[in-house]
């Protein structure tokens, strides 16, 4: 599978390791990130969520600054920064800091926030959030170019305005860190292709194939060669053990804990998640093709099959979730690195 690169997606959900001590939880996750770094994964992508145990990194930049110091070659970034929840000037400065602190390893995921419940806690109207997202992204991208154009930032939008503000920081990567966007509909690939944005989806094989086929078509329509195609990723829960029985025992215990965290806010408000549905049992998740468990050979074979069926060129693993212990997740990473090429 030499045409596929590998990454890691993480919700940093609180019940991982079954620990009540949040300090110890963060430290164990950072130890696991050291293992991702050593194994040669391309990047670590961290979700942003608020007011839910699904995400204990509601300010992903803070955790990622620790990732920058605990890794040497692993690229990393938010997936995604929920832009309407930040003032874009402050986020611009933090992005520049993270890229410099890591020696230019930041991968910049952006979005408006998938949960209207979480956005609502910030007092924002979900109807205006898309416009705020677009303005914030424009301001941030413009700000990263200011030092080349004289150092002052002027931006006049409906939601954000700034006049002749000196910009004293710039990212190490020019013109900006690589952009990432999460999507679930093929039409969203139009903007992504026009701007050379990497993408990630949680869709099943058929839905992912619609997205990757459309992206390739949009890319060709713009006159680009497929050799320069951005990364098109798909994420899956992945559990590897020496035996299939052990892998399923771990996953069947850990997955329902993760799922409860995922649905907690939605259930509390009597709402359904948008464009996603996770079944109650891990076995159902495997049947849907959205989780892979077994021995290294079994997992490698299924990843290869799904990659071909979906048309992706980037495969993201969720190695740690629910009440899975550090040693259980580390086993998956070690076996993956030993038996499935990651570099």
- Per-residue pLDDT at 87 exceeds 70: yes
pLDDT of residue 148: 66
| Confidence class for position 260, pLDDT limits 50, 70, 90 | very high
pLDDT digits (tens, 9 = 90+) for 1-27: 558 999 999 999 987 545 578 999 999
DSSP state for residue 178 in the 8-state scheme: P
Q: Is there a contact between 67 and 33 (Cβ–Cβ < 8 Å)?
A: yes
Mean pLDDT value across residues 35-61: 96
pTM of the model: 0.96
* Residues whose CB falls within 8 Å of the CB of residue 268, separated by 6 or more in sequence, listed in order: none
**Both structure tokens of 230:** 């951005």
- pLDDT 10s digits, 112-171: 988 999 999 999 988 899 999 999 999 999 999 886 656 899 999 999 999 999 999 999
Report domain extents, the chain.
5-339
Which string of DSSP letters, residue by residue, matches 61-88? HHHHHHHHHH-SS-EEEES-EEGGGS-H
Output the pLDDT for position 343. 45
Does position 35 have pLDDT exceeding 50, yes or no? yes
Beta strands 5-10 and 43-46 are: parallel
Q: Is the pLDDT of residue 83 over 70?
A: yes
- Fold observed for domain 5-339: TIM Barrel (3.20.20)
What is the pLDDT, as a whole number, of residue 16? 53
Examine the pLDDT at 340 and tell me if it is beyond 90: no
pLDDT for the residue numbered 19: 57
What is residue 310's predicted lDDT score, i.e. its pLDDT? 97
Residue 311 has pLDDT above 60, yes or no: yes
Q: Which helix (H) or strand (E) holds 234?
A: strand 232-240
Q: What is the pLDDT of residues 166-212, one digit of tens each?
A: 999 999 999 999 999 999 999 999 999 999 999 999 999 999 999 99
pLDDT at 342 > cutoff 70: no
Residue 242: the pLDDT is 97
pLDDT at 48: 97
Is residue 209 within 8 Å of residue 137, measured between CB atoms? no
- What's the CA gap between 239 and 262, in Å, rounded? 19
């Amino acid at each position: 599978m030499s045409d596929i690169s590998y990454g890691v997606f993480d919700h940093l959900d609180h019940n991982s390791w079954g620990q009540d001590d949040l300090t110890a939880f963060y430290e164990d996750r950072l130890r696991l990130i050291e293992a991702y770094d050593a194994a040669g994964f391309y990047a670590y992508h961290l979700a942003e969520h608020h007011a839910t145990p699904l995400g204990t990194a509601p300010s992903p930049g803070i955790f990622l600054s620790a990732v920058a110091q605990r890794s040497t070659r692993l690229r990393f970034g938010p997936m995604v920064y929920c832009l309407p929840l930040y003032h874009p000037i402050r986020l611009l400065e933090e992005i520049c800091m993270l890229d410099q602190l890591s020696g230019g390893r930041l991968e910049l995921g952006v979005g408006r926030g998938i949960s209207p419940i979480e956005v609502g806690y910030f007092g924002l109207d979900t109807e205006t959030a898309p416009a705020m997202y677009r303005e914030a992204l424009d301001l941030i991208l413009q700000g990263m170019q200011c030092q080349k154009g004289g150092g002052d930032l002027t931006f006049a939008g409906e939601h954000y305005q700034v006049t002749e503000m000196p910009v004293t920081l710039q990212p190490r990567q020019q013109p900006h860190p690589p952009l990432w966007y999460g999507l679930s509909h093929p039409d969203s690939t139009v903007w992504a292709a026009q701007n050379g944005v990497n993408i990630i989806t949680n869709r099943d094989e058929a839905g992912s194939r619609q997205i990757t086929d459309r992206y390739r078509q949009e890319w060709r329509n713009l006159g680009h060669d497929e050799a320069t195609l951005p990364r098109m990723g798909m994420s899956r829960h992945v559990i590897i053990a020496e035996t299939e029985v052990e892998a399923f025992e771990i996953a069947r215990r850990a997955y329902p804990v993760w799922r409860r965290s995922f649905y907690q806010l939605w259930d509390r408000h009597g709402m359904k998640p948008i464009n996603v549905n996770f079944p109650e049992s891990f076995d159902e998740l495997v049947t849907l093709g959205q989780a892979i468990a077994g021995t290294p050979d079994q997992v490698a074979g299924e990843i290869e099959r799904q990659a071909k069926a979906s048309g992706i060129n980037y495969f993201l693993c969720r190695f740690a979730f629910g009440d899975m212990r550090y040693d259980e997740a580390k086993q998956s990473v070690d076996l993956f690195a030993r038996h499935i090429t990651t570099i």
